[in-house]
Amino acid sequence: MKEIRADLHIHTCLSPCAEKEMTPAAVVREACRKGLHLIAICDHNSVENVAAVKCAAENAGVAVIGGIEINTREEVHVLGIFDDDSALGKVQEVVYRNLNGENDPGTFGEQLVMNERGEVVRHNDRLLIGATGLSLEEAVRTIHRLGGIAIASHIDRPSYSVISQLGFIPADLGLDGVEVCSEEVPDIPENLTVVRSSDAHRPEEIGSRYTRFLLEKPTVAEIGMALRRTQGRRVMAVMEEK
């Protein structure tokens, strides 16, 4: 077992609210500079920059796992992270089938699909900032069906969180964990484990908040065991850089 410093919520320039400087190489470079061992790429309603970040991270010393931040019908944000790359394509198909609207770059920002060298492959024209037609329950169920882990995003924020939108966390929702941003943790069901992540939209935000895990290796399967507190895996601490 070893300590793994993980930031499980990082956006790239594909997310309309992220800076253009969040290129695959820049994300990897900053993660390494901050001493992170593991990062998860979780753009809004899309996985199309995950492969480029993974390529940019080859031989860089930081592991990259693929993910997505789904905006549900209730406007609740939930992270789905996956070990299996094929699952990313499948979750993307489900999200895109349930996502309407076209992006207005002047209003919401550009949505850049890049390769590992930071070259723009194309502009994503979907309204990635929008809410999907998936309910929160459907989003969590989809993530689990495809072998992923579901973590409720920034539950302590006044918008786009399960608590801000519903007022509580349904006991039967089936979440694997919850993410917080502040020092104070809201009341949550006892069976849920807390993680802290940066939700980075700018390079300097990467690793500003992270989680220290005790894992055998940096994988989603291992994180799942830590969130369930089984087989010696666990969350050691949730951290914030001062």
pLDDT in tens, 35-75: 999 999 999 999 999 999 999 999 899 999 999 999 999 99
- Side-chain-facing half-sphere of 21: CA atoms under 13 Å: 9
pLDDT grade for 242, boundaries at 50, 70 and 90: low
Count of other CB atoms within 10 angstroms of residue 107: 8
Question: What is the pLDDT, as a whole number, of residue 181?
Answer: 87
Tokens representing residue 72 in the block? 């549900």
Question: What is the pLDDT, as a whole number, of residue 19?
Answer: 96
Question: What is the pLDDT, as a whole number, of residue 151?
Answer: 98
Q: What is the CATH number of the domain that holds 91?
A: 3.20.20.140
Exposure b/e, 38-60, CB count within 10 A at least 16 = b:
bbbbbbbbbbbbbbbbbebbeee
pLDDT in tens, 192-240: 999 999 999 999 999 999 999 999 999 999 999 999 999 999 999 888 7
Question: What is the pLDDT, as a whole number, of residue 167?
Answer: 93
Total tally of structural domains belonging to the chain: 1
Question: What is the pLDDT, as a whole number, of residue 184?
Answer: 76
pTM of the model: 0.96
pLDDT in tens, 140-187: 999 999 999 999 999 999 999 999 999 999 989 999 999 998 777 888
Structural domain of 52: 2-240
